[in-house]
Chains A and B, each alone.
Chain A
Amino acid sequence: MTHIILLFAIFFRTCTDLSFKLAVTDVHFTSFKTLAPNLKKLFSTPFVWSGILFAMLNLGVWCLSLGNFDLSYAYPLFSIHYIAMILAGKFFFKEKLDRSKLIGIGFIGAGVILLFTS
């Protein structure tokens, strides 16, 4: 049952990454000259603030996870968030799901299943 904690940590981390991706879509950090206006633009989007909120939730739940699991178990298990991110990229940003990504998902999935037996 305590695995639900880890699932929440992964969920909040995925929400963090999605928020930050949405926050930087209109921002182009290419040179130091445009740094100030770009930062101003970045912090005026609601997504950067939802990203910070989700990041705080993620870290809180991560502390809870570490109180209940070995680091050598919880940290590799957290790699599920790469799978979640690729799927979220496909559904929310219409990113292409090609063969390399599918093979990558397969390896990470196999690694996670192997962890359950450890």
Chain B
Amino acid sequence: MKIKHIPFVIFPIFFTITGELFLKASINSLGFHVALSNIHVVVTQPRVLIGVCFIITAGVLWLVAMSRFELSFLYPFLSMDYLAIILGSQLILGETVTPQRYMSAFLIMTGLLFISRSRHSENKKTDQDRSLSC
């Protein structure tokens, strides 16, 4: 891994974490209970849309990263989302986070590491593809 590769993984992680925390904070601040009957009001609130735009940006940036790097390189970074979002939920949103939730995040991160180690997680790429994509 080189220094110039860091932005490719840092930006999608940043947008995911900020987006999810911002979206949850926005929904908490609405002042009414969110249900299927008022979902059209919820998704047209500017602050909700800002959170959604962050999440969409993160998704697009992940696609860019996935087109350049292998999943075995990206998934360990992706799995950091789980720890960061649980920490953020506790410290920023003030949710009651039980030790089980931290344990669960740890198990999910381990699971993602195993999936990324699968020999079948990658398409077979030619040497020419690799030289063009990296």
Contacts and interface: CB of A to CB of B under 8 A. Distances in A.
B48 interface: yes
B110 A107 contact: yes
Looking at chain A's contact residues, the main secondary structure is helix
Q: Which bucket holds chain A's interface residue count?
A: 35 or more
Contacts of A104: 111-115, 118
Interface in A73-118: 73, 75-76, 79, 82, 86, 95-96, 98, 100-101, 103-112, 114-115, 117-118
Interface of B: 20-21, 23-24, 27, 30, 33-36, 39, 42-43, 48, 52, 55-56, 59, 67, 81-82, 85-86, 88-90, 93, 95-98, 100-101, 103-108, 110-115, 117-121, 129, 132-133
A68 B85 CA distance: 17
Contacts of A117: 100
A63 interface: yes
Contact of A107 (B39, B52, B107, B121): B107
A29 interface: yes
Nearest to B67: A29
Q: Among the interface residues B20, B88, B111, which one has the most CB atoms of the partner chain A within 10 A?
A: B111
Interface string A44-70: 000000000001000110011011101
B42 A63 contact: yes
Contacts of A55: 56, 59
A76 B105 CA distance: 6
Contact of B111 (A64, A105, A118): A105
B120 A98 contact: yes
9 shortest A-B CB distances, which residue pairs?
A67-B34, A107-B111, A111-B107, A104-B115, A104-B114, A72-B89, A108-B111, A118-B100, A100-B118
B86 A114 contact: no
Interface in A8-44: 29-31
